[in-house]
């Protein structure tokens, strides 16, 4: 995140301010990057001269960035004529041996999980936690959090697949079930003393749901670009990441996906009845020239966008599934119009044909805001340390505490905030 992302309300009159500043979080970003094993190119920004689209850093990236592919170099050359300057997005891929992780082998098979563990995934820290004595209870779904009259959390209850119910007690609790299940669990945990659920005296649990709701465009270029060389890293354009325009429309990131498109193209061609040598020829041609561009928009924390436990639908063990209400305001639509202008400009600069444009509110799975952070217990769920205002021994870890979304992926911010929780716990425990 940029320093300005923490002061959205003060600077642009939109959304919320964070109770902490970028400078306070920066050392934790650095620690999170070391833990997750992030590689990146130092000194990049929108003008290529450092300092604007990328935030200030106290230390270099833990690992050097990946080398740009042919496509990245060619796109940079062509789009720079329109004033678009790219950044190779830093990411959790090893570019040298890093702990137990080998360097990335570049075979573009990264999602959902890298088969050789060059790319970070959450299982690595679960293994680490177990090595330090944590016990993982599989097939154990927490369905209730209990608090005493003094506000302290006393226990959690979990259910096994055979529907047996179990209780765990502890001095401290950290809820880390991401932005849909964390609020759902708190809202399910009602009692006489806490009729609105746990940590919910503000009525903000489940509200302010944010994502990076996006749009995309497919184009076909007239020269070979070779998408899919190397890992599925993103080349991103951050020209519209921050500025006075955020009073009127959101910041956004434009990205080109570096994913091998062969499988999708082949299915489409066969679906259209293209076969034999024509099929072979078209697969070769289209795979080398088809590009997918996508935009991730910043969204605002709106109280009406929310997660609640369903009253009518239940999962396999009888627990309510989440119900989600999510709307997109005029602010987002104003950003969409701006990004569509960029799309048209991109196609022109690349001398490419636009095959399709999707403005259908694409889900980016970057869930934020449902247990929002603030100084005022009346309109936020956790304080600046991610401790719930209502319960001194309950912390919430992850991206659900974020009061603003910016337009970049939130995982690193969630990890940095979680390391801050760990520091508080180490002091208190
Ligand atoms: S290209 Fe992707 S799947 Fe292959 S090693 Fe690198 S991160 Fe892993």
* CA-to-CA dists, residue 117 to 96, 219, 231, angstroms: 12, 32, 13
Atom of ligand 1 nearest to the CA of 106: 1
DSSP state of 67: P
Largest distance between two CA atoms of the chain: 75
- 3-class secondary structure, 214: strand
Tokens at 27, concatenated = 């050392």
Give the closest residue (by CA) to ligand 1 atom 6: 104
Distance 318 CA to ligand 1 centre (A): 39
Q: How far apart are CA 261 and CA 271, in angstroms?
A: 16
Chain center to CA of 207: 18
Q: How far apart are CA 256 and CA 70, in angstroms?
A: 13
**Contact in structure between 194 and 200 (CB atoms under 8 Å):** yes
Query: What is the dihedral sign for C-alpha 362, 366, 369, 370?
Result: positive
**Contact in structure between 202 and 389 (CB atoms under 8 Å):** yes
Query: In the prediction, which pLDDT does 50 show?
Result: 40
Lining residues, ligand 1, CB within 6 Å = 93, 104-110, 114-116, 118-119, 231
Q: How far apart are CA 186 and CA 388, in angstroms?
A: 11
Distance 105 CA to ligand 1 centre (A): 6
Q: What are the residue boundaries of the structural domains of the chain, listed by start?
A: 3-428
* CA-to-CA dists, residue 166 to 16, 137, 305, 315, 425, angstroms: 39, 11, 33, 19, 25
Query: In the prediction, which pLDDT does 395 show?
Result: 98
Query: In the prediction, which pLDDT does 427 show?
Result: 97
Q: How far apart are CA 108 and CA 114, in angstroms?
A: 9
Distance 230 CA to ligand 1 centre (A): 8
Tokens at 344, concatenated = 């048209």
For ligand 1, mutation pick of 93, 97, 111, 113 (most atoms within 8 Å of CB):
93
Distance 101 CA to ligand 1 centre (A): 11
Query: In the prediction, which pLDDT does 43 show?
Result: 74
**Contact in structure between 184 and 172 (CB atoms under 8 Å):** no
In 156-239, which ranges are continuous DSSP H helix? 178-188
Q: Of 212, 366, 389, 391, which residue is the catalytic one?
A: 366
Query: In the prediction, which pLDDT does 42 show?
Result: 83
For ligand 1, mutation pick of 110, 113, 257 (most atoms within 8 Å of CB):
110
Active-site residue 366, yes or no?
yes
Peptide bond into 244 cis (omega under 30): no
Q: How far apart are CA 36 and CA 24, in angstroms?
A: 20
For ligand 1, mutation pick of 66, 106, 259 (most atoms within 8 Å of CB):
106
Distance 232 CA to ligand 1 centre (A): 8
Q: How far apart are CA 115 and CA 117, in angstroms?
A: 6
Query: In the prediction, which pLDDT does 51 show?
Result: 45
Q: How far apart are CA 321 and CA 141, in angstroms?
A: 13
Peptide bond into 16 cis (omega under 30): no
- Average pLDDT by stretches of 10, the chain with 429 residues: 96 98 97 97 59 78 93 94 89 96 95 94 95 96 97 98 96 97 98 97 98 97 95 90 96 94 94 97 96 97 98 96 97 98 98 96 97 98 98 98 97 98 96
Instruction: Please state the pTM of the whole predicted model.
Output: 0.95
Q: How far apart are CA 266 and CA 283, in angstroms?
A: 6
């Amino acid at each position: 995140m940029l320093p300005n992302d923490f002061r959205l309300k003060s600077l642009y009159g939109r959304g919320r301010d964070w109770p902490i500043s970028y400078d306070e979080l920066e050392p934790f970003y650095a620690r999170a990057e070391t833990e997750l094993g992030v590689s990146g190119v130092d000194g990049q920004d929108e003008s290529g001269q450092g300092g604007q689209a990328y935030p200030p850093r106290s230390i270099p990236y833990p690992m050097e960035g990946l080398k740009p592919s042919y496509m990245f170099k060619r796109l940079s050359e062509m789009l720079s004529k329109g004033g678009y300057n790219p950044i190779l997005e830093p990411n959790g891929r090893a570019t040298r041996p890093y702990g137990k992780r080998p360097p990335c082998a570049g075979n573009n098979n990264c999602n959902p999980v890298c088969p050789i563990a060059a790319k970070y995934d959450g299982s690595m820290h679960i293994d680490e936690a177990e090595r330090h004595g944590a016990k993982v209870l599989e097939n154990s779904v927490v369905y209730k959090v209990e608090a005493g009259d003094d506000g302290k959390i006393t226990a959690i209850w979990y259910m096994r697949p055979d529907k047996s119910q179990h209780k765990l007690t502890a001095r401290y609790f950290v809820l880390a079930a991401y932005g849909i299940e964390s609020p759902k669990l708190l809202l399910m945990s009602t009692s006489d003393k806490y009729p609105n659920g746990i940590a919910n005296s503000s009525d903000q649990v489940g509200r302010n749901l944010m994502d990076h709701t996006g749009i995309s465009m497919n184009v076909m270029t007239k020269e070979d670009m070779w998408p899919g060389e190397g890992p599925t890293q993103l080349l991103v354009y951050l020209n519209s990441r921050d500025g006075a325009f955020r009073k009127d429309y959101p910041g956004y990131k434009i990205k080109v996906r570096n994913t091998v498109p062969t499988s999708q193209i082949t299915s489409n061609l066969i679906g259209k009845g293209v076969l034999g040598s024509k099929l072979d020829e078209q697969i070769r041609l289209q795979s080398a020239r088809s590009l997918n561009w996508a935009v991730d928009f910043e969204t605002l924390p709106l109280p009406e966008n929310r997660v609640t436990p369903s009253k009518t639908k239940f999962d396999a063990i009888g627990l309510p599934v989440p119900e989600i209400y999510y709307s997109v305001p005029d602010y987002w639509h104003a950003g969409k119009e701006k990004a569509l202008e960029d799309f048209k400009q991109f196609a022109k600069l690349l001398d490419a044909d636009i095959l399709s444009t999707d403005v259908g509110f694409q889900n980016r799975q970057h869930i934020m805001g449902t247990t929002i952070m603030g100084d005022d217990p009346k309109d936020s769920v956790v304080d600046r340390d991610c401790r719930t205002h209502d319960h001194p021994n309950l912390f919430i870890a992850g991206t659900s505490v974020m009061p603003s979304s910016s337009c970049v992926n939130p995982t690193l911010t969630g990890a940095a905030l979680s390391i801050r929780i760990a520091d508080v716990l180490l002091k208190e425990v």
